[in-house]
Amino acid sequence: MFLRNRYNYLALLFISYFLFIIINFFSLQILNINDSIEKIDQQTYDVFYLSAPRGEIYDTNKEKLVTSSLEPHLFINLRKINDDNIVQYKQYLKYNFKELKNSDFEDIFNSKELLYLVRNINDLDYLERQSLLELDAFEIFDYPIRQYNYGNIASHIIGYIGRPTLEEFEAYPESIRNGIVGKSGVEKYYEEKLSGIAGQIVFKGKEIIDFTSPLPGEDLYLTIDIKTQRIATESLLEGIKLANENFDSENIIQKGSIVVLDIDSGAVVSMVSLPDFDPNKFVKGISSFDFDQLNRVDAFNNFAIQGLYPPGSVFKLVAYWLAENEGLFPEGIRSRNNTLKCEGKLSFSFNDGSQQVYNDWKENGHGNVDLSSAIQQSCNVYFWDIALKIWRTYEGSSDESILQEYARNLGFGKITEIDLPYEKAGVVPDRKLFEDWTITKPELVRPEGWLGGDLMNLIVGQGAITTTPIQIANAYKTLLTGYSSSPYFDKNKDNIQKVKNYNINDEFIEFLLDDLNLVTNKNGTAYYAFEVLGSKANDIGGKTGTAQNPGGKNSTSWFAGVDSVSNPKYIIVTVVDEGGSGSAVAAPISRRVIQHLTGVDLTPVKFGEITE
């Protein structure tokens, strides 16, 4: 039986308490408002902020790349240090922690901080820690330690941390409380996600009266595979070493990069840039000597997204796509199967009457070439002829820039919007750009402005054009899938938006894969590099590039390709700055990475055949 009168008593009790609450709030908010304002004004609390552990970083297989552990640290409450006890504390510290130097004591006791972090006491046992606490000014708090488990491997992807500058503080207000901010890589790009919220230690006078624990940052799951990353790094190092040994050059070769993309999603499987650095060095503050030494060799540049190189022959795929899509072949040629005779040079005249001769890299010429063999053997004459036809047909009209439009459509000349900071865009030159440059950078252009020769240079990836390795990888991904999207590292982006490119159909993709396959097989420019794979090489495809540089620099060595033409899973792009021939250096490095990706036993990088 339910007793209604008892319910009424209960209701009365609740109503009275609600009224009591309202009266209480009336007294707090209306009657005592002035008292409270005064109290707030007089609050003399000071707050010390305790760093929050940043989020941890994992690779695609949940292997931990970056660890944040909380370890007990000894702090000294400087407000409790006075002239009477300073000597006692100094001696105590000196006696117990022999590694502390006199300069450390100056830092500690002259600090204007409320609390000063003396040292990590994880090595002390429970009793030793307890005995520290017997001294009034000593406090123990957990303090985060960040550790980069793979050192130099993937250092450009992960980035490094350091003290925030004024600008960084404005961009990420929490960073000043944590005392730490991501400076590069995903540490910077995902700063807000990783940083966490600093704890608060509230002081009233010299006593600590309140403590709020820090909230750890969120963990980050990356798309990279640390095993592939390690093998790619090793392969690039080996390749660079071989290039230095075999290549007759005065300059030391030391810079390069590798990009491996998942072809379906655009996820970055691996991204290497050399020289690299160890982010662990930044955790405790890097010495300026070490920093300068690394900085001198550009170790903090991620060349995969910041290195601006002429792409050379790997860029020929843009013209290949244009030729197929627009039916725009060399003069007198109607289809991909028609051939022209390459005699090693191209003589021609422009409307203005100027006579020119362009020499192919292969002196005696490639013989009869069609579109496929022009890619296979990297025949320049074939592509120059296309440029000549564009120029003769469209010079001065809006279609004059058709090649540039195709290039921009593939993402050249703009950033890929990968989730890393400081990405560079490069340039796709055209008449407009040269006109701008005559004013802003007159040293880069001739007074005549944009000429047919510039277009002929552009079509083979030479001249003013600059690209980053990630742009090449992303452009190849678009051409081989028909979809364009931004490459990414954060696994949360697995459903990143893809845009269908209606100028790329399945038939084109088949042709392109077949022709890339010719490059790594007999008569192809990369044949020698992939020969060691035997019949396995039958399924690989790619394009070599040897891009000439101005100003006495060696050529840039390129290779861009896929792990398999029958079932492509990965795009691989390798660049060695000043590495010389793409066939000799970049291709064999890529070959070793592909061996790993396809599960074939690894064989050492071998210096390839010099072509182009």
Partner 1 sequence: MRERKITLLGPEGTNLSIFFLFLVFNFISWFTLFVLSEGIELNLNNILIRQIVFSLISFLVFFLLTYISIENIRQYIDSLFVIITILLAVLLRTTPKAGVRRWFDLGPIDFQPSEFAKVITVLFIANYLTKRKSRYPLLLFLGFTLILILMQPDLGTSIIIGFVIFTMIFVSEVKIRYLVLIALLVVTFFFVFLESGLINENQLNRINDFFSANDDFQQSQSKLLISSGSLFGQYFELNKLEKVFVPVETTDFIFAAYSYNFGFIGVVFILTMWLLFFFRLSQIINISNSDFEKFVITGFVTLLAFQIIVNISTITGLLPLTGLPFPLLSLGGSSMVSTAVIFGITNRIFIENNLVI
For residue 25, state whether it binds partner 1 (rule: CB under 8 A): yes
558 close to 258: Cβ distance less than 8 angstroms: no
The contacts of residue 343 (CB under 8 Å, 6+ apart) are 364, 365, 381
What 3-state DSSP class applies to 59?
coil
Instruction: Supply the minimum distance, in Å, between the C-beta of residue 210 and partner 1.
Output: 5
Measured distance CA(586)–CA(559) in Å, rounded: 5
Stretch that binds partner 1, among 16-24, 100-108, 238-246, 579-587 (CB under 8 A): 16-24
- Binding to partner 1 (CB under 8 A): which residues in 92-111? none
Stretch that binds partner 1, among 200-208, 350-358, 493-501, 513-521 (CB under 8 A): 200-208
For residue 17, state whether it binds partner 1 (rule: CB under 8 A): yes
User: CA dist 261 to 131, 187, 267, 498, 513, Å?
Assistant: 55, 21, 6, 15, 17
User: Nearer to partner 1 by C-beta: 32 or 356?
Assistant: 32
Q: How many C-beta atoms lie closer than 10 Å to residue 215's C-beta?
A: 13
User: Nearer to partner 1 by C-beta: 37 or 444?
Assistant: 37
For residue 28, state whether it binds partner 1 (rule: CB under 8 A): yes
Measured distance CA(182)–CA(180) in Å, rounded: 7
308 close to 423: Cβ distance less than 8 angstroms: no
Alpha helices in 484-610 (DSSP H): 506-519, 527-530, 587-597
Helical axes 469-481 vs 316-326, angle rounded to 10°: 30
Instruction: Supply the minimum distance, in Å, between the C-beta of residue 71 and partner 1.
Output: 13
Stretch that binds partner 1, among 201-209, 311-319, 376-384, 451-459 (CB under 8 A): 201-209
- Binding to partner 1 (CB under 8 A): which residues in 131-170? 133, 140-142
The contacts of residue 396 (CB under 8 Å, 6+ apart) are none
Instruction: Supply the minimum distance, in Å, between the C-beta of residue 13 and partner 1.
Output: 9
360 close to 383: Cβ distance less than 8 angstroms: no
Q: If we measure between CA atoms, which residue out of 427, 455, 422 comes closest to residue 440? A: 427
User: Nearer to partner 1 by C-beta: 41 or 125?
Assistant: 41
Instruction: Supply the minimum distance, in Å, between the C-beta of residue 6 and partner 1.
Output: 5
Structure tokens at 594: 């592909």
User: Nearer to partner 1 by C-beta: 212 or 538?
Assistant: 212
Radius of gyration of the chain (CA): 32
Residue 511, exposed/middle/buried by CB under 10 A (0-12, 13-18, 19+)? middle
DSSP for 434-452?
HHHHHHH-GGGS-TT-S-H
User: Nearer to partner 1 by C-beta: 190 or 476?
Assistant: 190
With the C-alpha atoms ordered 564, 567, 572, 573, is the resulting torsion angle positive or negative?
Answer: positive
Instruction: Supply the minimum distance, in Å, between the C-beta of residue 54 and partner 1.
Output: 15
**369 φ/ψ angles, rounded to the nearest 5 degrees:** -125, 140
Interface residue with partner 1 among 12, 23, 43, 67 (CB under 8 A) is 43
- Binding to partner 1 (CB under 8 A): which residues in 321-360? none
For residue 30, state whether it binds partner 1 (rule: CB under 8 A): yes
Interface residue with partner 1 among 23, 24, 392, 449 (CB under 8 A) is 24
Stretch that binds partner 1, among 207-215, 362-370, 453-461, 466-474 (CB under 8 A): 207-215
Structure tokens at 11: 């209701």
* Total residues in contact with partner 1, by rule CB under 8 A: 45
CA neighbours within 13 Å on the CB side: how many for 85?
14
The contacts of residue 78 (CB under 8 Å, 6+ apart) are 108, 109, 111, 113, 114, 115, 116, 137
For residue 29, state whether it binds partner 1 (rule: CB under 8 A): yes
User: Nearer to partner 1 by C-beta: 95 or 126?
Assistant: 126
User: Nearer to partner 1 by C-beta: 189 or 309?
Assistant: 189
Interface residue with partner 1 among 47, 297, 328, 509 (CB under 8 A) is 47
Instruction: Supply the minimum distance, in Å, between the C-beta of residue 397 and partner 1.
Output: 45
**Beta strand pairing call for 115-120 and 570-576:** unpaired
* Beta strand ranges found along 470-585 (DSSP E): 483-484, 499-500, 541-547, 556-562, 570-576
For residue 12, state whether it binds partner 1 (rule: CB under 8 A): no
For residue 11, state whether it binds partner 1 (rule: CB under 8 A): yes
Stretch that binds partner 1, among 10-18, 94-102, 333-341, 529-537 (CB under 8 A): 10-18
Site string for partner 1, 177-196 (x = CB under 8 A): ----------------x---
Interface residue with partner 1 among 12, 209, 252, 602 (CB under 8 A) is 209
What value, to the nearest 5°, has the Cα angle with vertex 69 and ends 67 and 70? 160
For residue 200, state whether it binds partner 1 (rule: CB under 8 A): yes
For residue 213, state whether it binds partner 1 (rule: CB under 8 A): yes
Interface residue with partner 1 among 211, 392, 435, 441 (CB under 8 A) is 211
For residue 212, state whether it binds partner 1 (rule: CB under 8 A): yes
For residue 23, state whether it binds partner 1 (rule: CB under 8 A): no
Alpha helices in 210-365 (DSSP H): 226-246, 280-283, 288-296, 303-306, 316-326
For residue 2, state whether it binds partner 1 (rule: CB under 8 A): yes
464 close to 431: Cβ distance less than 8 angstroms: no
Stretch that binds partner 1, among 3-11, 265-273, 472-480, 529-537 (CB under 8 A): 3-11
For residue 241, state whether it binds partner 1 (rule: CB under 8 A): no
496 close to 485: Cβ distance less than 8 angstroms: yes
549 close to 310: Cβ distance less than 8 angstroms: yes
User: Nearer to partner 1 by C-beta: 25 or 604?
Assistant: 25
User: Nearer to partner 1 by C-beta: 10 or 444?
Assistant: 10
Instruction: Supply the minimum distance, in Å, between the C-beta of residue 53 and partner 1.
Output: 13
Instruction: Supply the minimum distance, in Å, between the C-beta of residue 28 and partner 1.
Output: 5
For residue 86, state whether it binds partner 1 (rule: CB under 8 A): no
For residue 62, state whether it binds partner 1 (rule: CB under 8 A): no
User: Nearer to partner 1 by C-beta: 133 or 252?
Assistant: 133
User: CA dist 161 to 71, 188, 424, 446, Å?
Assistant: 19, 8, 21, 44
- Where do contacts with partner 1 occur on this chain (CB under 8 A)? 1-4, 6-7, 10-11, 14-15, 17-18, 21-22, 24-26, 28-30, 32-33, 35-37, 39-41, 43, 45, 47, 133, 140-142, 193, 200, 202, 208-213, 218
